Structure 1
Amino acid sequence: MSTYKPTEHDGLKQDGTPDKRVSSEHGFGGSDGPDPHVEGAKGGKASGSTDGETYKPSEHGGLKKDGTEDKRTSSEHGFGGSDGPDPKVEGAKGGQSS
């Protein structure tokens, strides 16, 4: 016994009524709209930078674009500094209690 598929019957249910899941008004269902595979492959775009490069204070001595200190890179903030625990090691421990 095979499964009835409205996409193989011009978007109609077994009773002959339109299956709204197949219509283009529902989103990616129709054939006259954007291709979900193409749209998904585009992925998300990072906001902020227009040239594809993201400014990273960690690559600029802990300074923001405006030259002020980015406190997130400071060891006083947590894992940001080089004199504290290694975040990769601590993260690998997971939820272990000490």
Structure 2
Amino acid sequence: MSTYKPSEHDGLKQDGTPDKRVSSEHGFGGSDGPDPHVEGAKGGKASGGSTEGESGGDTYKPSEHGGLKKDGTEDKRTRSDHGFGGDDGPDPREEGRK
């Protein structure tokens, strides 16, 4: 015997009462509500999204700008004495083997 699905029976349970999980008032369950694919596309992205004045989803990277932040000050995370950020510091592969 197959499973009874209210979505295949105009949103009614087996006893004939409305199943609220199928109504459009319960989110994306109903066919007359918003399309979840369209609504999801309107949402943000996990990475690469635009923030504060950026356009096209480009992320400012101090490592691509001589170690300088957007405001022109030095980003200390790109310095060699801050770990593996610089080119003249320890080789991360060698340090990882130790």
Normalised-by-shorter TM-score class: 0.5 to 0.7
Q: Secondary structure at the match of 1:76?
A: helix
Task: Report the CA distance shift for 1:52/1:66 in structure 2 as closer, same or farther (over 3 A).
Answer: closer
Give 2:84's match in structure 1, choosing from 75, 79, 84.
79
Return 5+ residue gaps in structure 2 as ranges. none
Return 5+ residue gaps in structure 1 as ranges. 94-98
Task: Report the CA distance shift for 1:27/1:70 in structure 2 as closer, same or farther (over 3 A).
Answer: same
Deviation (angstroms), 1:77: 2.6
| Distance in 2 separating the partners of 1:4 and 1:91 | 57
Task: Report the CA distance shift for 1:75/1:2 in structure 2 as closer, same or farther (over 3 A).
Answer: same
Task: Report the CA distance shift for 1:34/1:89 in structure 2 as closer, same or farther (over 3 A).
Answer: farther
Q: Secondary structure at the match of 2:25?
A: helix
Q: How many residues align?
A: 93
Name the residue aligned to 2:51.
Answer: 50
Q: Please list the CA deviations of residues 4-43 of structure 1 after superposition, one character each: whole Å capped at 9, or x if unmatched.
A: 1111111111122221211112111122222112333455
Task: Report the CA distance shift for 1:86/1:14 in structure 2 as closer, same or farther (over 3 A).
Answer: farther
Task: Report the CA distance shift for 1:10/1:74 in structure 2 as closer, same or farther (over 3 A).
Answer: same
Q: TM-score under structure 2 normalisation? A: 0.67
Deviation (angstroms), 1:60: 0.6
Q: Identity of aligned pairs, percent?
A: 91
| Distance in 2 separating the partners of 1:90 and 1:14 | 65
Alpha-carbon RMSD: 3.7
Deviation (angstroms), 1:44: 2.2
Task: Report the CA distance shift for 1:77/1:21 in structure 2 as closer, same or farther (over 3 A).
Answer: farther
